[in-house]
Structure 1
Amino acid sequence: METSRLTLDTIQHLVNDLPIPSFITSDQDIIIAYNDLVLKYLDKEKNLKGLALSTVLNQDSFLMTSKPSPISVHKQILEIEPSKNFHLVQFYDLTKQQTTEKKLGQLDRQLKSLFEHHPELIFTLNPSGYFINVNPEGEKLLGYAKEELYKLQYTDIVIEEDLHFTQPYFYDVLNQQVVDFTLRVRTKERFIRTLHITAVPIIEDQQVTGVIGIGRDITQTNAIQKQLQESEQRYRSIYDNNIDMIMSVDLEGRFTSINKVTQDMFQTDADQLIGTSFFPYISTDYYDHTEEHFNNAITGQATQYETVVINDEKQLFHLHVTLVPIMINGTITGIHCIAKDISDKKRLMNQLNQMAYTDYLTNLPNHYSFHRHVDKFIEQGSKSFAVMFIDLDRFKSINEALGHTVGNDVLIQTAHRLKSLLPRHANLFRYSGDEFIATFNPTTVDEVKGWAQEIVQAFRTPLQLSSDVEFLTPVSIGISFFPTDGSDTDTLVRRADAAVRLAKQNGKNQYQLFHSQIKEHHEQYFNIESHLLNAVEKNEFSLYYQPQLSLETEEVKGLEALIRWHSDKLGFVSPGDFIPMAEENGLIVDIGEWVIETACQQIAIWKQKGLDLYPISVNVSIRQFYHTNFLEHLKTTIEKTQIDPRYLEIEITESVASNTTLVLEILKKLKDIGVQIAIDDFGTGYSSLHYLKEFPIDYLKIDQSFVRDITTDEKDQSIVKTIIMLASNLGLKTIAEGCETEEELQFLKDHGCDLAQGYYYSKPVPADAFETWFKAWNDAL
């Protein structure tokens, strides 16, 4: 055989040595040889020689296979013997490659879907920081289309304040680090969004070719967190810096948190209080009251109350407490407690209450205590008791001739002597001025007459004053009996007073029992009353005005309207004579209505004249104040005269406060109308100062009895300073009455009194005279 020619055996050996499945075919595509690697693709052992290659293998598939479908292959044909047209046919199994490509395609689709549909910003940057891709959510978040972002670097959208730390993070990623940080970007619409960025390097052939990152929009979350932080800071600030005690307790009353003020009050560290109950610290007198309010709070009711706490040092504190339920997800989990230390206020109120019930000069119970005392006798059903009215016969002469200091000493020594003379079952009161009242319960007429005679006899002996001076101060005494002479306190006092007047008329230095004949001595009284009945209809009343001036600026701030009566029969009648009479017979209501109408008309007149307007205060008696038509008449008058109600001020005395509930209701309606309210003659009447914090009042008027000796009497000074301080603490203004000297005004100004009225500025004058005075005063300012 020639070396250039191949035998079949040689061809078979040749094909056997090939490393891939191979066939040798003739020029007619008939298989003449193949290697063993082909056999593993057959469905069974079979001799393929002599078969057409196309029945076994086409261009891209191996057909005779045990698989359900042909195997994908890649076929290549080489000519090895051109003279005989032998061809070498080889194929490569593409199954694994196609499987890999299929998996890669599937992965690519998954990643693309993740990129396209991810709810957060996904972006890629090249090493220069330019955007090379961004997902739809990123376009929506930033407001830019992809094509717009491709022209931008990340630094173009990061706000200037954040660039200084953003760029180092970018370079860290280019150095194959993973970074996680927060920055702020500016959208195309110029909104600022806060993003939390996680960025990783894109590495190809061990080289960083870019950056891929995810940005989560935390703008709203940050805003909420900021609000929560600010809210927490505000809460902590209120909690830690509050001047009041703030604490929280659980539903069993155990402390869960306390502020510094609370620690100071309890004189105990927080860690010793936390987890313990507050109830052991409550005074036994207030325990049930405190427990009741706490039980209300744990059922969801906010509540306020007063209680007393005793700390470990046995110190006692009066507290005003506010309890607020702590609600979490609709469930009460504890109680917030705010407690204000009102111990000083309580001490002051107790002192002022003591002043209210006690005469400051003699330390005897005062006239309010007397009324309460006698009212109690009547309420308890006493069968008989006596009221003894004791009046010093020469006191006014002594007071005017020798001054108030001596006069006060006389009153003090009188009180001492009376207390030493009266039996144990008697009670002594300083009623007013130089008037004392004693009550005897139980008693008989003869017993009281005996004590009265003993008192009259004792005061025929001079009083030894502290100045080593003796004064003879005889007394006149009037006596009335319950129920013979009167069934109520006022009547008993009035009848005893009438008996005193008879004793004085009969020569003084004696006692008189009230009896029917005393009425004969009241002819003048009834004569005045008969003329008083028609005084309103006859237009005999007029109003005089006394200005009220600011002690700071000396500017007029208000006026008081004072009634005057000039009878065509009796001439000028003092208000001190006809006002009590009108109170007794009920005419005070008609007179009071006339005063209100006239004052409102005067305001309207001054308004029409274009004059400056100031509040005009009018005195309202107890009887008028409680009258059913009082409020309606006031509203009608204001509407009829078309005045601004803030230019009208209603003055009431402390005595109206005896019925706190009703008074409070009336005062609230007055405030609804729009008028101002003042308490007149403060400190001389019903001074149980509990009403001050309840009543919606604007002014306290300091009675002239306190002002008169303010420059010389330390007790008057203390009272006035206390009233001013009390008013200031309660947010009220003070008006001092009866100011007559510059020294009095200076004292009042130095201690914070707001307004003053009195003869130093002007006596009460008619409206036209006031206009003249007002012009002259303003011109002089």
Structure 2
Amino acid sequence: MKPILPSISSTFAISVYHFITYDIEHHKDEVKPTTWFVVHGNLGNIKGVIVVDRYLQQKLNEQNFYYYWLVYFLLLCLIAAGIVYYYNTRHDLQKMLVVGCKKNEFIPYYQPIMSLDDKLQGVEVLVRWKLSDGSLLLPAYFIEVAEQMEVINEITITLVKKVQADFRRYSSNYNRKVFCAFNLTAQQIENKSFINLLILTLKKEENFVPSFEITERQHFNNLALAKANIRRLQEQGYQVKLDDAGTGYGGFSYFMDFNLDGVKIDKMFIDVIGVDDVKVEVLNSIIMMAKRLGIDIVAEGVETQQQVDFLRKHNIDYIQGYYYSKPVPFKDLNFDN
């Protein structure tokens, strides 16, 4: 298998491979086509296969450049179709996000964050898009586009207000305060007006302790402004932690730039527990670094008893994952733990 066209490294990544799967002389009477070109793309989930029949295959074997150009043309048509599909779909999603905000369709789900003695200490707020037919869309379907639009700010403030309403409505369900972690993007952290609105919205909140997690899907453009806004949040008494540490743009350089209060260990590092003794040393290094910095450690994506035992042995602070609970509506949270 050998590439006959260069890969395009851009918004649309495509690779084309050349396969010789049949010998024409040995299959003269067969009508089977031969797959010569396979196209893989990550644009709009486009995947295509160009099948070349025996006649065209023979012409290609004869180095007939006219037929080579025909195949190239078909490939270009496939790429063009992928680009059109991608941008049309993206544009439609952008319009749907704006309409969804106007219709108040974004709602919070909560995933418990537990202490080592299995007591509920906090929750992470995770967005869900509740469509008019009652179905729920997970963030994977829309969050990347939302984060590239101003609409992410409106979604975040909407979630904060709905979380406040949930805690007021179900105040009889719990007898102690827990912390509530909201995700913020790099652009939101750099947006002074947004941070002002966030602080104003949470002012005098008494039913839960707000905290924030910085996601690494986007990089900071203005470290000085980001640092100042993080400090403002901390001055209000809110903790700021690094989410998915080591998997995005910032990595552990964030600990050199910001005075963070904690780190959340990504599931990819938790998955190696009991599976790969070499890779688990990376996890040990993350835990050791966080302890030396004196910051909180949250392990997310925990699914097995073996992982829980390992984390308890290493005396981390909090555990989050399906081992305890999937994300649920507020009314399904168990505050008795």
Fold shared by both chains (TM-score > 0.5): yes
Structure 1 residue 741: deviation in Å?
Answer: 0.5
Tell me, yes or no, if the aligned pair for 1:621 and 1:652 is still in contact at 8 Å.
yes
User: Cα distance 1:389–1:534, how it changes in 2: closer, same or farther (>3 A)?
Assistant: closer
For residues 557-588 of structure 1, what are the alpha-carbon distances to aligned partners after superposition, in whole Å with 9 as ceiling and x for unaligned? 11111111121158322211111121233311
Aligned to 1:684: 247
Tell me, yes or no, if the aligned pair for 1:606 and 1:612 is still in contact at 8 Å.
no
Matched, 1:581 2:145: yes
Aligned mate of 2:43, from 487, 498, 508? 498
Aligned to 1:3: none
User: Partners in 2 of 1:646 and 1:670 — Cα distance?
Assistant: 16
Aligned to 2:125: 561
Aligned mate of 1:643, from 187, 190, 205? 205
Structure 1 residue 526: deviation in Å?
Answer: 3.8
Aligned to 1:533: 98
Task: Spell out the pairing of 1:2-17 with structure 2 (5 A cutoff).
Answer: none
Matched, 1:653 2:199: no
Tell me, yes or no, if the aligned pair for 2:177 and 2:208 is still in contact at 8 Å.
no
TM-score (normalised: structure 2): 0.75
> Which residue identity lines up with residue 215 of structure 2 in the other structure?
T
User: Partners in 2 of 1:711 and 1:646 — Cα distance?
Assistant: 36
Aligned mate of 1:707, from 256, 270, 277? 270
Classify the secondary structure of the residue corresponding to 1:536: helix
Structure 1 residue 596: deviation in Å?
Answer: 2.1
Matched, 1:735 2:280: no
Structure 1 residue 727: deviation in Å?
Answer: 0.4
> Which residue identity lines up with residue 547 of structure 1 in the other structure?
P
Aligned to 2:308: 745
User: Cα distance 1:692–1:656, how it changes in 2: closer, same or farther (>3 A)?
Assistant: same
Aligned mate of 2:162, from 595, 598, 604? 598
Aligned to 2:84: 519
Aligned to 2:287: 724
Matched, 1:544 2:109: yes
User: Partners in 2 of 1:633 and 1:604 — Cα distance?
Assistant: 21
User: Cα distance 1:638–1:675, how it changes in 2: closer, same or farther (>3 A)?
Assistant: same
Q: Aligned-pair RMSD on alpha carbons?
A: 3.3
Structure 1 residue 515: deviation in Å?
Answer: 4.4
Structure 1 residue 600: deviation in Å?
Answer: 3.3
Aligned to 2:63: none
User: Partners in 2 of 1:706 and 1:740 — Cα distance?
Assistant: 12
Work out which of the two has the higher radius of gyration on C-alpha atoms and give 1 or 2. 1
Structure 2: state its 5+ residue gaps: 1-6, 22-36, 52-71
Tell me, yes or no, if the aligned pair for 1:600 and 1:637 is still in contact at 8 Å.
no
Tell me, yes or no, if the aligned pair for 1:540 and 1:565 is still in contact at 8 Å.
yes
Tell me, yes or no, if the aligned pair for 2:227 and 2:258 is still in contact at 8 Å.
yes
User: Partners in 2 of 1:584 and 1:681 — Cα distance?
Assistant: 19
> Which residue identity lines up with residue 725 of structure 1 in the other structure?
M
Structure 1 residue 618: deviation in Å?
Answer: 0.8
> Which residue identity lines up with residue 97 of structure 2 in the other structure?
L
Tell me, yes or no, if the aligned pair for 2:11 and 2:43 is still in contact at 8 Å.
no
Task: Spell out the pairing of 1:244-255 with structure 2 (5 A cutoff).
Answer: none
> Which residue identity lines up with residue 661 of structure 1 in the other structure?
A
For residues 698-721 of structure 1, what are the alpha-carbon distances to aligned partners after superposition, in whole Å with 9 as ceiling and x for unaligned? 110011122123220234411211
> Which residue identity lines up with residue 755 of structure 1 in the other structure?
Y
Structure 1 residue 514: deviation in Å?
Answer: 5.7
User: Partners in 1 of 2:189 and 2:79 — Cα distance?
Assistant: 31
Tell me, yes or no, if the aligned pair for 2:173 and 2:335 is still in contact at 8 Å.
no
User: Partners in 1 of 2:251 and 2:326 — Cα distance?
Assistant: 32
User: Cα distance 1:715–1:457, how it changes in 2: closer, same or farther (>3 A)?
Assistant: farther
User: Partners in 1 of 2:253 and 2:298 — Cα distance?
Assistant: 20
Classify the secondary structure of the residue corresponding to 2:322: coil
User: Partners in 1 of 2:139 and 2:250 — Cα distance?
Assistant: 25
User: Partners in 2 of 1:559 and 1:580 — Cα distance?
Assistant: 22
Tell me, yes or no, if the aligned pair for 2:184 and 2:213 is still in contact at 8 Å.
yes
User: Cα distance 1:687–1:584, how it changes in 2: closer, same or farther (>3 A)?
Assistant: closer
Structure 1 residue 759: deviation in Å?
Answer: 0.8
Task: Spell out the pairing of 1:263-662 with structure 2 (5 A cutoff).
Answer: 387=9, 452-453=15-16, 456-457=17-18, 477-478=40-41, 497-498=42-43, 501-502=45-46, 504=47, 506-507=48-49, 515=80, 518-551=83-116, 553-568=117-132, 571-605=135-169, 611-639=175-203, 642-644=204-206, 647-654=209-216, 655-657=218-220, 659-662=222-225
For residues 374-429 of structure 1, what are the alpha-carbon distances to aligned partners after superposition, in whole Å with 9 as ceiling and x for unaligned? xxxxxxxxxxx962579xxxxxxxxxxxxxxxxxxxxxxxxxxxxxxxxxxxxxxx
- The 10-residue stretch of structure 1 (731-740 or 689-698) with the greater mean CA deviation from structure 2: 689-698
Tell me, yes or no, if the aligned pair for 2:187 and 2:220 is still in contact at 8 Å.
no
TM-score (normalised: structure 1): 0.34
Classify the secondary structure of the residue corresponding to 1:588: helix
User: Cα distance 1:710–1:605, how it changes in 2: closer, same or farther (>3 A)?
Assistant: same
Task: Spell out the pairing of 1:156-167 with structure 2 (5 A cutoff).
Answer: none
Aligned to 1:756: 319
Structure 1 residue 647: deviation in Å?
Answer: 0.4
User: Partners in 1 of 2:330 and 2:270 — Cα distance?
Assistant: 27
Tell me, yes or no, if the aligned pair for 2:190 and 2:222 is still in contact at 8 Å.
no
Matched, 1:663 2:226: yes
User: Cα distance 1:570–1:609, how it changes in 2: closer, same or farther (>3 A)?
Assistant: closer
User: Cα distance 1:735–1:658, how it changes in 2: closer, same or farther (>3 A)?
Assistant: farther
User: Cα distance 1:476–1:671, how it changes in 2: closer, same or farther (>3 A)?
Assistant: farther
> Which residue identity lines up with residue 596 of structure 1 in the other structure?
V
Highest RCO, 1 vs 2 (Cα 8 Å, sep ≥ 6): 2
> Which residue identity lines up with residue 115 of structure 2 in the other structure?
S
Classify the secondary structure of the residue corresponding to 1:590: helix
Structure 1 residue 668: deviation in Å?
Answer: 0.7
User: Cα distance 1:571–1:582, how it changes in 2: closer, same or farther (>3 A)?
Assistant: same
User: Cα distance 1:585–1:774, how it changes in 2: closer, same or farther (>3 A)?
Assistant: same
User: Cα distance 1:750–1:507, how it changes in 2: closer, same or farther (>3 A)?
Assistant: farther
> Which residue identity lines up with residue 100 of structure 2 in the other structure?
A
User: Partners in 1 of 2:185 and 2:106 — Cα distance?
Assistant: 17
User: Cα distance 1:597–1:507, how it changes in 2: closer, same or farther (>3 A)?
Assistant: farther
Tell me, yes or no, if the aligned pair for 1:604 and 1:643 is still in contact at 8 Å.
no
Classify the secondary structure of the residue corresponding to 1:546: strand
User: Partners in 1 of 2:89 and 2:135 — Cα distance?
Assistant: 14
User: Cα distance 1:725–1:638, how it changes in 2: closer, same or farther (>3 A)?
Assistant: same
User: Partners in 1 of 2:208 and 2:120 — Cα distance?
Assistant: 16
User: Partners in 2 of 1:532 and 1:389 — Cα distance?
Assistant: 22
Classify the secondary structure of the residue corresponding to 1:668: helix
Tell me, yes or no, if the aligned pair for 2:109 and 2:330 is still in contact at 8 Å.
yes
Structure 1 residue 644: deviation in Å?
Answer: 4.3
For residues 160-182 of structure 1, what are the alpha-carbon distances to aligned partners after superposition, in whole Å with 9 as ceiling and x for unaligned? xxxxxxxxxxxxxxxxxxxxxxx
> Which residue identity lines up with residue 530 of structure 1 in the other structure?
K
Structure 1 residue 535: deviation in Å?
Answer: 1.6
Classify the secondary structure of the residue corresponding to 1:678: strand
User: Cα distance 1:475–1:726, how it changes in 2: closer, same or farther (>3 A)?
Assistant: farther
User: Cα distance 1:610–1:716, how it changes in 2: closer, same or farther (>3 A)?
Assistant: same
Aligned to 1:196: none
> Which residue identity lines up with residue 498 of structure 1 in the other structure?
L
> Which residue identity lines up with residue 275 of structure 2 in the other structure?
T
> Which residue identity lines up with residue 520 of structure 1 in the other structure?
Y
Structure 1 residue 610: deviation in Å?
Answer: 5.9
Structure 1 residue 690: deviation in Å?
Answer: 3.7
